[in-house]
Amino acid sequence: MGILGRKASGGAFCDTYVAKSMTDANAQEGRRLREGFLDLCAECGYGSFSLTDLLERMELDQGAFERHFPDLDAFFAAVLGEIYGEFFARAQEAVEGQHGWRDRMRATAYALLRFLRRDERVAHVAAVEAQNAGEAGQALFLDTFNRLVDLIDEGSAEVGDSPSPTRATALGVGGVVFARIQEAVAGSELDLGEEEIPELMYAAVFPYLGAEAAEQELRTPPPRDLAS
């Protein structure tokens, strides 16, 4: 099942708050808060501003905010839940019709690249600032990482008669992949994605299928909409 086959463990939390803030009569207000929050995170980082800073910028009342969220950490978690939900929805579309493990991995990787390129602020919050979130937000971040590891770990079923790599292998590969994503986002290097993804696919495929299959990934062109 992997990345697309299970609900995030923090889903109940984020669903509760997103429903209250983003889809009820205060939807427009909630969207304004999200935009202001993304701007502040991009400008100075999550730990460098307060709820008062956010509300003053958006000219909103604290009492209205607190009817939906107990604090800024709870709002951050709701924003992360929405962002990750948007990504997984796009990833689900991308893997439709892809039956092989490598094809699903590759489709998911390019779906992630497209998603992160849509809005640099969203990319920064999802990949960098999430590690500074409160407990609920960090749980969502960790669950998202583990869902990516699940997809990598599906390679164990591709090994055949040889001893299958353990989940530790998938965790190691996932750590390398995430570190490169974080570095690219922090350094505004997402334009290099078409060059990076074949190399990351090589790193993911090699422990499971060996050098020949991994080298095929280096020769696999990106989707047409991303080809230069």
User: Phi/psi of residue 60, each to 5°?
Assistant: -120, 155
Backbone torsions φ then ψ of 227, nearest 5 degrees? -70, 140
CA distance 150 to 23: 31
Q: What is the pLDDT of residue 128?
A: 94
Give residue 227's pLDDT.
53
The predicted-structure confidence for 38-78, as pLDDT tens digits, reads as follows 999 999 999 999 999 999 999 888 888 888 899 999 999 99
Residue 226 has pLDDT above 80, yes or no: no
Q: Residue 26 — pLDDT band, cuts 50, 70, 90?
A: low
pLDDT tens sequence across 165-219: 999 999 999 999 999 999 999 988 888 778 899 999 999 999 999 999 999 999 9
Instruction: Check: CB of residue 107 under 8 Å from CB of residue 93.
Output: no
Q: Running DSSP on this structure, what letter comes out for residue 187?
A: T
pLDDT of res. 68: 84
- Give the position of tokens 């992630």: 112
Domain ranges of the chain: 1-228
Q: Please give the angle made by the CA atoms of 8, 73 and 77, to the nearest 5 degrees.
A: 20
Burial (CB < 10 A; 0-12, 13-18, 19+), residue 25, is: exposed
Q: Regarding the domain with residue range 1-228, which homologous superfamily does it belong to in the CATH classification?
A: Tetracycline Repressor, domain 2 (1.10.357.10)
Percent of the chain with pLDDT over 90: 68
Q: Token pair for residue 93?
A: 């579309």
Burial class for 116, CB neighbours closer than 10 Å (0-12, 13-18, 19+): buried
